[in-house]
């Protein structure tokens, strides 16, 4: 290998990913004195976080003073069907308000209440208006605010050290292909710069994974090209484990027409602000799909649901605002029963619910998106929408307080981390997750680096040769597979066979195909040279998408129940016994296959379980678990 091609950098903390979680982690690590590198697969400020529309969930109680962290915790556990890591859900609910307020000190400008406080909007699964927002472009505000905060830190470093990049540096358009270990511990990260194709080694004792999700393994997705499961795969190959990968969220409302925009997100705020779902018969079908566990919290009639928008204390919320898994399944059923819209979705209508000017004010991006991409004026006519792969609840198994993975020196935050959202994430809980656990990962990494003293792990040259050899392999072949073709076939297979509704024979079929994709991906060939070559980048990403897809499929085959983002055709009901089980994927050394094992779910602490009444708990817990609860009313 020609050494001149390899750049070497040394940092205390390397953050892989420049979305909300990565930037927040980097800010924290830097403020704790760490020399920090941020690795961004795209340009700085383009991360997938910009796509988040609705808002950041935090129980500030600005709109309804009854809100508090306990209510938020309860909603999060309900949304995740009690499979959430309760400590993560607790930390998240407790710390989210501080993380939002902190953004204002960085310069964020949220929409306001009449009292001049941060406004909060309604969203699916949240009992009170809870989402801090900026119209329907909250993710953009979040990413820009954090980006500008980093610039402001760099300006301080310029004053103090004469160099903007002295303490925190962004490496844009850089992708990491492998982590390097010293024994069991993290020693560095290896990758390439997209622009010139140069190889780069970051030597660092601590790596924070903040790489986001896996949506690009599915055909219809709201995710961008970056979402190839890199962090999930990096963690596994480094020896860490992934939790509950079967839980994939299909957002109920993606665009369905025209074909080229299929999957692009239509924010839940449309429903939060009054939009309703109708089938081809004009019926608000969601009233037929309220599951037993949610019967007490949702309106039984259209009148009551409509009254809730103005009088939420005396009415129940409309079922359009059920958690996303419920709404996605309902839409799927309506379409299958041939009550769908002309292009295979259902109708989402806000035009008959709000005045045109109000729609444009509250949902400007949606108005713009439909006008420009579909020739639909949402102030005059309904949208056509259908489910789109949006989010993976599964991810790296981490310690809730420090975001540490099982591999020393490895941390994970945001979508790449597992546990927080259980089997289904509530809208709005993602942006708050990024901030709460991004910060904690930055702290965890800094504490870990401090604990090492001067004893830093070292990268071995032989390991470096191996990972470089792998990265350049696609140029070495004369004849080989086209990476774009393998990718398209992979997306089709995952969409058709491990999608919203899953059957065991189809999952088996998917696993057989994945094995073939893996063989073919090893023989992939790319045209041209290393400078900004998207074919090469895809060839390297394929390995990650395939291993992550295998985790999803294998776990989906094992879990014989339906819960949140995992629906089994042959086991349509939720099963309390399965609530006690986490499925953990790992990649044993020397094996090509992923291994899945069952692990017990963490017990919910007594003071947290006391936030629920027994009647509700009985819907989720086993009889034995119920019998083990203290006598009498828990909540008193």
Identify residues 190-249 at the interface with another protein (CB under 8 A).
195, 224-226
Query: Helices 429-452 and 138-161, interaxial angle, to 10°?
Result: 30
Pick 174 or 243: Cβ nearer another protein: 174
List the interface residues with another protein, window 477-506 (CB under 8 A). Answer: 482-485, 488
Minimal distance in Å, beta carbon 370 to another protein? 11
List the interface residues with another protein, window 99-118 (CB under 8 A). Answer: 101-102, 104-107, 109-112, 115-117
List the interface residues with another protein, window 309-328 (CB under 8 A). Answer: none
Identify whether the C-beta of residue 267 lies closer than 8 Å to the C-beta of residue 54. Answer: yes
CB atoms within 10 A of CB 492: 13
DSSP string of 175-218, one letter each residue:
EEEEEEEETTEEEEEEEEETTT--EEEEE-SEEEE-----GGGS
Q: And the tokens for 365? A: 């991006």
Sheet of 248-255, strands arranged across: 248-255, 383-392, 346-349, 276-278
Instruction: Answer yes or no whether residue 475 interacts with another protein by CB under 8 A.
Output: no
Instruction: Answer yes or no whether residue 472 interacts with another protein by CB under 8 A.
Output: no
Instruction: Answer yes or no whether residue 183 interacts with another protein by CB under 8 A.
Output: no
Stretch that binds another protein, among 368-376, 549-557, 562-570, 613-621 (CB under 8 A): 368-376
Pick 228 or 423: Cβ nearer another protein: 228
Residue 386: which residues within 8 A CB-CB, separation 6 or more? 252, 253, 254, 256, 331, 335, 340, 344, 345, 346
d(CA 244, CA 604): 18
Stretch that binds another protein, among 206-214, 372-380, 505-513, 544-552 (CB under 8 A): 372-380
Q: Quick one: which of 257, 308, 347, 391 contacts another protein (CB under 8 A)?
A: 257
Q: Quick one: which of 155, 447, 560, 598 contacts another protein (CB under 8 A)?
A: 155
Q: Quick one: which of 32, 166, 261, 602 contacts another protein (CB under 8 A)?
A: 261
Instruction: Answer yes or no whether residue 542 interacts with another protein by CB under 8 A.
Output: no
The owner of tokens 């080694």 is 201
Instruction: Answer yes or no whether residue 171 interacts with another protein by CB under 8 A.
Output: no
Size of the site for another protein (CB under 8 A): 72
Stretch that binds another protein, among 239-247, 281-289, 462-470, 525-533 (CB under 8 A): 525-533
Instruction: Answer yes or no whether residue 572 interacts with another protein by CB under 8 A.
Output: no
Q: Quick one: which of 344, 529, 572, 613 contacts another protein (CB under 8 A)?
A: 529
Q: Quick one: which of 162, 183, 259, 454 contacts another protein (CB under 8 A)?
A: 259
The residues assigned a catalytic role are 251, 271
Q: Containing H/E element for 557?
A: helix 534-558
Stretch that binds another protein, among 37-45, 80-88, 436-444, 596-604 (CB under 8 A): 37-45
Would the CA dihedral through 44, 49, 52, 58 be positive or negative?
A: negative
List the interface residues with another protein, window 120-139 (CB under 8 A). Answer: 134-135, 137, 139
Identify whether the C-beta of residue 246 lies closer than 8 Å to the C-beta of residue 556. Answer: yes
- From residue 69, give the alpha-carbon distance in Å to each of 60, 85, 91, 421: 9, 16, 9, 16
Which runs of consecutive H residues, i.e. helices, occur in 337-460?
356-362, 364-374, 429-452
Instruction: Answer yes or no whether residue 68 interacts with another protein by CB under 8 A.
Output: no
Q: And the tokens for 484? A: 């774009």
Pick 46 or 126: Cβ nearer another protein: 46
């Amino acid at each position: 290998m020609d050494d001149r091609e390899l750049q070497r950098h040394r940092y205390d903390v390397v953050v892989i990913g420049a979305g909300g979680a990565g930037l927040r982690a980097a800010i924290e690590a830097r403020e704790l004195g760490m020399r920090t590198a941020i690795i961004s697969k795209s340009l700085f400020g383009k991360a997938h976080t910009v796509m988040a529309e609705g808002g950041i969930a935090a129980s500030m109680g600005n709109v309804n003073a009854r809100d508090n962290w306990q209510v938020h915790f309860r909603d999060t556990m309900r949304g995740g069907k009690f499979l959430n890591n309760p400590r993560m859900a607790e930390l998240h609910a407790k710390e989210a308000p501080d993380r939002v307020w902190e953004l204002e000190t960085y310069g964020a400008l949220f929409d306001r209440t009449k009292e001049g406080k941060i406004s909060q909007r309604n969203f699916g699964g949240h009992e009170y208006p809870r989402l801090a927002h900026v119209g329907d472009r909250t993710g953009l505000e979040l990413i820009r605010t954090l980006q500008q905060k980093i610039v402001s830190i760099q300006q301080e470093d310029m004053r103090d050290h004469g160099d903007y990049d002295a303490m925190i540096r962004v490496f844009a358009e850089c992708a990491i292909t492998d982590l390097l270990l010293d024994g069991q511990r993290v020693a560095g990260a290896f990758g390439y710069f997209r622009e010139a194709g140069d190889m780069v080694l970051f030597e660092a004792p601590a790596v924070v994974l903040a790489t986001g999700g896996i949506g690009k393994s599915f055909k219809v997705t709201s995710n961008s090209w970056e979402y190839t499961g890199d962090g999930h795969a990096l963690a596994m190959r480094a020896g860490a484990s992934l939790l509950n990968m079967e839980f994939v969220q299909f957002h109920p409302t993606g665009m369905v027409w025209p074909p080229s925009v299929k999957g692009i997100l239509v924010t839940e705020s449309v429903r939060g602000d009054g939009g309703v779902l109708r089938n081809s018969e004009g019926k608000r079908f969601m009233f037929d799909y309220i599951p037993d566990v949610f019967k007490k919290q949702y309106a039984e009639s259209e009148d009551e649901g409509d009254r809730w928008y103005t009088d939420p204390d005396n009415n129940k919320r409309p079922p359009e605002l059920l958690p996303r898994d419920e709404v996605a399944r309902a839409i799927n059923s309506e379409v299958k029963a041939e009550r769908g819209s002309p292009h295979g979705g259902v109708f989402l209508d806000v035009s008959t619910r709000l005045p045109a000017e109000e729609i444009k004010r509250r949902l400007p991006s949606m108005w713009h998106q439909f006008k420009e991409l579909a020739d639909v004026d949402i102030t005059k006519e309904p949208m056509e929408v259908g489910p789109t792969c949006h989010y993976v609840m599964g991810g790296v198994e981490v310690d809730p307080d420090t975001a540490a993975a099982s591999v020393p020196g490895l941390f994970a935050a945001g979508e790449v981390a597992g546990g927080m959202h259980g089997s289904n994430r509530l809208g709005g809980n993602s942006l708050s997750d990024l901030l709460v656990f991004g910060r904690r990962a930055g702290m965890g990494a800094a504490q870990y680096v401090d604990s090492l003293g001067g004893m830093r792990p070292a990268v071995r040259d032989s390991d470096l040769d191996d990972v470089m050899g792998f990265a350049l392999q696609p140029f070495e072949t004369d004849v080989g597979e086209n990476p774009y073709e393998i990718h398209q076939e992979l997306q089709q297979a995952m969409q058709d066979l491990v999608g919203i509704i899953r059957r065991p024979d189809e999952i088996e079929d998917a696993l057989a195909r994945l094995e073939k994709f893996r063989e073919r991906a090893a023989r992939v060939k790319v045209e041209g040279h290393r400078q900004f070559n998207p074919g090469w980048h895809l060839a390297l990403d394929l390995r990650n998408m395939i291993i992550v897809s295998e985790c999803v499929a294998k776990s989906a085959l094992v879990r014989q129940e339906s819960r949140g983002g995992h629906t089994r055709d042959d086991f349509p009901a939720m099963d309390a016994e399965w609530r006690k089980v986490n499925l953990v994927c790992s990649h044993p050394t020397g094996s090509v296959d992923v291994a899945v094992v069952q692990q017990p779910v963490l017990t919910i602490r007594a003071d947290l379980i006391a936030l629920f009444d027994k009647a509700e708990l009985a819907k989720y817990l086993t009889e034995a678990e119920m019998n083990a609860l203290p006598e009498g009313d828990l909540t008193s």
